[in-house]
Amino acid sequence: MPNSTRVSYFVLSAYFDTGDLKYLFFTITLLFYIVIISVNLLLIVVICANTSLHEPMYMFLCSLFVNELFGSTALFPSLLLHILSDIHTLSAPFCLLQVFCMYAYGSVEFTNLAVMSYDRYVAICYPLQYNTHMTSAKVTLLIVVIWLPPFVAVFLCGNIINKVHCDNYSIIKLACSDTTVNNIYELIAASLTVYAPVSVILYTYMRILYVCFCGSKQTRQKAVSTCTPHLTSLLNFSFGICFQVLQNRFDMSSVPNTLQIFLSLYFLTWQSLFNPVMYGLKMSKIRLTCKSLILGSDDRSSNICL
């Protein structure tokens, strides 16, 4: 009979004793989470409630904001609990659920950004055919494609994870058996959830740049105003993913523990706040509609074009 052990819990060893400072950390983290929830919910309500924002670009933005809520909620409640707790363990089912949520969040984020780049490509390169290309049925189909959840299957053995949350690579390293199959699966999953969307983004922006160089000054200005938030969001999220990959794949023992925690949480925390702030500030229709909603005024200027 093979010697196997069923793991019922995982220890998150990256937490360290902060004494009475844990209440300060808890308060700061809670406020950060409240801000993330508030700004993303506000923009979702603004887009859904205002019929002038029921356009493909804003529908994809709404999907992006929903994903920020999903990703941050997969992390913050558990994080807040462990900041106050002296016992930093997670049950195996909850840990697997968190792994699934992290991967689903990352997959949806990249795919959503790819779909948004395609939308901008059609709007800038084929403006006269935009309404024909981006029909309601096509927008609905693209949103369904964005939210197709990834399937994550892992077999476990060890139970100590040097993180403040569960992640797939850390769990795979704890496996008692050969991890070749898992590594192949991860490569395939990465190809579908990262490389394919990034390829779409690179292609569409190459085409957009070509049109901008060959087009008028007005075309270039429109491209810059509509694409800047998207590219900035993509770079911010990519940096966060790079931090995560570096921490997983290389020896980080020489890096201070606090910095390791910050890097491992970057793509789950800052992106969720960065996106609504960036799009809310850069896009005039969203900005003016938010102002109208908050101040309770009937601002007709919220219907102006971007």
Measured distance CA(126)–CA(138) in Å, rounded: 16
Instruction: Name the token pair of 220.
Output: 């270039």
User: 53, exposed or middle or buried, with CB in 10 Å at 0-12, 13-18, 19+?
Assistant: buried
- What does the pLDDT look like over 44-67, one tens digit per residue? 988 988 888 888 989 999 999 999
> What is the reported pLDDT for 162?
43
Indicate the CATH number for domain 9-303.
1.20.1070.10
Measured distance CA(79)–CA(44) in Å, rounded: 25
| Tokens 């008028």 sit on residue | 216
One-character DSSP codes across 113-158:
HHHHHHHHHHHHHSGGGHHHHS-HHHHHHHHHHHT-PPP-------
Residue 243 has φ and ψ, to the nearest 5°, of: -60, -45
> What is the reported pLDDT for 65?
94
- Report mean pLDDT in 10-residue bins for the chain, 306 residues: 52 60 84 92 89 89 93 85 72 74 84 91 87 90 80 41 49 52 60 76 85 75 77 83 68 67 75 85 77 63 40
* Angle subtended at Cα 106 by Cα 105 and Cα 109, rounded to the nearest 5 degrees: 85
State the CB neighbour count (10 A cutoff) for residue 104: 21
Helix (H) or strand (E) holding 12: strand 9-12
State the CB neighbour count (10 A cutoff) for residue 112: 25
Cβ-contact 300, 63 below 8 angstroms = no
Helix axes 257-282, 92-125, angle to 10 degrees: 40
Cβ-contact 302, 289 below 8 angstroms = yes
> What is the reported pLDDT for 160?
39
> What is the reported pLDDT for 161?
40
Which residues have C-beta within 8 Å of that of residue 218, sequence separation ≥ 6? none
Measured distance CA(77)–CA(65) in Å, rounded: 18
Instruction: Name the token pair of 118.
Output: 């395609």
Cβ-contact 14, 162 below 8 angstroms = yes
Residue 209 has φ and ψ, to the nearest 5°, of: -65, -40
> What is the reported pLDDT for 5?
53
Q: Is 189 helix (H, G, I), strand (E, B) or coil?
A: helix
| Tokens 């205002």 sit on residue | 50
Instruction: Name the token pair of 289.
Output: 């509609």
Q: Which of 212, 247, 221 lies closest to 306, judged by CA?
A: 221
State the CB neighbour count (10 A cutoff) for residue 203: 14
Instruction: Name the token pair of 40.
Output: 């993303």
